[in-house]
Amino acid sequence: MTAPVAAVDAWMAANRPRLLDELLAFIATPSVSTDPAYAAGMAAAADLLLVRLGRIGLNDVQLLDGGGHQAVYGAWTGAAGAPTLLVYGHYDVQPPVPLELWQTPPFEPTIRDGRIYARGASDDKSPLWIAVSALEAWLAVHGRLPVNVKVLLEGEEEVGSAGLPAIMAAHRDLLAADVLVSADGGRWRAEPPTVNTNSRGLVSLEVHVRTAGRDLHSGRFGGPVGNAPMVLARLLAGLHDQQNRIVVEGFFDGLQRPSKADYDDMAALGFDPAAFFADIGARPGAIEPGVGLLESLWLRPTLEVNGIWGGYTGAGGKTVIPAEAHAKISCRLGPGQDPDRVAASLDAHLAARVPEWAVLVVEQTEPGTSAYAVPEDDPFLRAVERVIEQVHGAKPLHVGIGGTLPISAMAKQALGLETVTLSYAVADENIHAPNEFFRLASFDDGLKAWTRLLAEVGAMPGRG
């Protein structure tokens, strides 16, 4: 360990209680981007970050507007000749429903058994807090950073990062860097050490079916009249075969098969399927034939119903023929799939199968995102690997992430940047589900790792 890093570590140890308290206050801010009812929480979270970036000594601190929830920006660019990192995280979180399944309220962060339980604790508030805290520590101890850093904390990751393309187009110089380092993304497991090298894409649709002008009494009208939830059920049932293989024509166009290196990385992980299923309380068997479990999680496309509703869903019964039924569906995409083409294939498949006596509307609710993979020889990937080895004592295995980081595809396209990931979330932390949590041990490891990343990259040559 170098002396500058040791000094930062010491500062971290002394300031840990305050950093953690501030993190809990940040997590308690209910910043749900998808639901307008949380607009005040979104604004409060952005303000909190804005104040913090200024307080720790970043410059150019400002909100960047892409038409929706604003992104928070700040920079420190005094390391002439050193590389520039664009540090990425997101301050928005998923909706907390179903509330009744939370052991403690989702926006009252609670520490139990060495974990912070709250919505957003893992995705992505603690991981981004760690990155910002490493900047704070370096600046507090040394009055400077060993690298140039720009921080971009967006508020629309959970709704497809809709405003980021506009922000990137309007602020190319402000965001210019050598690489994007994502504090979002997470680790595969707490052990062994791993680094993410690819993520899946995402397409989201809503499907609406109508069969009559109004709900109808099932006795007075039942027989000659269509049933909207039944029509919807048949349409959804026709998207897969009985072995859970997607049967939508054109859906797989462009999909790349995993490489030998991909299979080798997955085999090296020594993954235990029994533990995976036991943890989530599910039985094995739903996987499509011929696909391995990790391939299924990281590289294969999916087609899920995220929500379905129609007719009477209250207490007791109601003998109604519902006139409408609705579903939210989304697909994770594998490498090579084009999001717009996937959406079009689904639209065409459903439209070809809806009976003539029903009305179907399919709408794409968020911009799609392609899958992303960082090149195997990227020098910043090497730097991240060295940092992880320093903190965890072993070279990290390469793993995929089944989730989607819209930022990666966008940063590549708009700014020409590759993405490396240094996030201390772990994939088992009930992300997007009740009782989301973050490990306090990850908080300490993450502070160490981000401190070392700044030092490692500071020793690398800059772009010019």
| Residues between 192 and 211 with contacts to its own copies, criterion CB under 8 A | 199-200, 202, 204, 211
CA distance 52 to 311: 48
Which range binds its own copies by CB under 8 A, 103-111, 168-176, 327-335, 412-420? Answer: 327-335
Interface residue with its own copies among 20, 149, 325, 417 (CB under 8 A) is 325
The C-alpha angle 464, 411, 406, rounded to 5 degrees, equals 155
Provide the minimum distance between the beta carbon of 419 and its own copies in the complex, in angstroms, as a whole number: 16
CA distance 191 to 199: 20
Which range binds its own copies by CB under 8 A, 140-148, 167-175, 230-238, 416-424? Answer: 230-238
Provide the minimum distance between the beta carbon of 319 and its own copies in the complex, in angstroms, as a whole number: 5
Total residues in contact with its own copies, by rule CB under 8 A = 103
**How far are the Cα atoms of 209, 236, 259 from residue 231, in angstroms, in the given order?**
7, 9, 40
Q: Which of residues 302-321 bind its own copies (CB under 8 A)?
A: 302, 304-321
Which range binds its own copies by CB under 8 A, 57-65, 135-143, 237-245, 444-452? Answer: 237-245
Q: Which of residues 51-90 bind its own copies (CB under 8 A)?
A: none
Which range binds its own copies by CB under 8 A, 41-49, 78-86, 322-330, 391-399? Answer: 322-330
Burial-class residue 84 by CB neighbours within 10 Å (0-12, 13-18, 19+): buried
Strand order in the sheet with 115-117: 110-112, 115-117, 437-439
Closer CB to its own copies, 97 or 394, in the complex: 97
The C-alpha angle 68, 71, 77, rounded to 5 degrees, equals 155
What binding mask, one character per residue, do residues 356-375 give for its own copies by CB under 8 A, x or -? xxx------xx---------
Q: Which of residues 94-113 bind its own copies (CB under 8 A)?
A: 94-95, 97-98, 101
Which amino acid is present at 367? P
Provide the minimum distance between the beta carbon of 321 and its own copies in the complex, in angstroms, as a whole number: 6
What's 221-232 look like in SS3?
HCCCCCCHHHHH
- Asked if residue 36 binds its own copies (CB under 8 A), the reply is yes
Interface residue with its own copies among 146, 322, 368, 406 (CB under 8 A) is 322
- Asked if residue 285 binds its own copies (CB under 8 A), the reply is yes
Provide the minimum distance between the beta carbon of 255 and its own copies in the complex, in angstroms, as a whole number: 14
> Which of 248, 64, 62, 13 is closest to 172 using CA atoms?
64
CB contact at 8 A, 426 and 224? no
Q: Which of residues 398-437 bind its own copies (CB under 8 A)?
A: 401-404, 427, 430-435
- Asked if residue 281 binds its own copies (CB under 8 A), the reply is yes
Which range binds its own copies by CB under 8 A, 2-10, 46-54, 231-239, 376-384? Answer: 231-239
Which amino acid is present at 139? L
Closer CB to its own copies, 94 or 451, in the complex: 94
Q: Which of residues 134-193 bind its own copies (CB under 8 A)?
A: 159-160, 186
- Asked if residue 234 binds its own copies (CB under 8 A), the reply is yes
Closer CB to its own copies, 52 or 398, in the complex: 398
Q: Which two tokens stand for residue 320?
A: 């109604």
- Asked if residue 35 binds its own copies (CB under 8 A), the reply is yes
Which range binds its own copies by CB under 8 A, 5-13, 60-68, 325-333, 390-398? Answer: 325-333
SS3 214: coil
Closer CB to its own copies, 134 or 431, in the complex: 431
Q: CA Rg, the chain, in Å?
A: 23
- Asked if residue 283 binds its own copies (CB under 8 A), the reply is yes
**How far are the Cα atoms of 74, 89, 147, 374, 379 from residue 461, in angstroms, in the given order?**
23, 25, 10, 20, 10
Closer CB to its own copies, 321 or 388, in the complex: 321
Q: Which two tokens stand for residue 202?
A: 């995402």
List Cβ neighbours of 14 (8 Å cut-off, separation of 6 or more): none
- Asked if residue 355 binds its own copies (CB under 8 A), the reply is yes
Element (H, E) at 398: strand 397-401
- Asked if residue 252 binds its own copies (CB under 8 A), the reply is no
Interface residue with its own copies among 18, 144, 220, 245 (CB under 8 A) is 220
CA distance 45 to 43: 6
DSSP labels, 321-378: E-SEEEEEEEEEE-TT--HHHHHHHHHHHHHHHS-TTSEEEEEE-S--B--EE--TT-
- Asked if residue 332 binds its own copies (CB under 8 A), the reply is yes
Interface residue with its own copies among 67, 81, 114, 222 (CB under 8 A) is 222
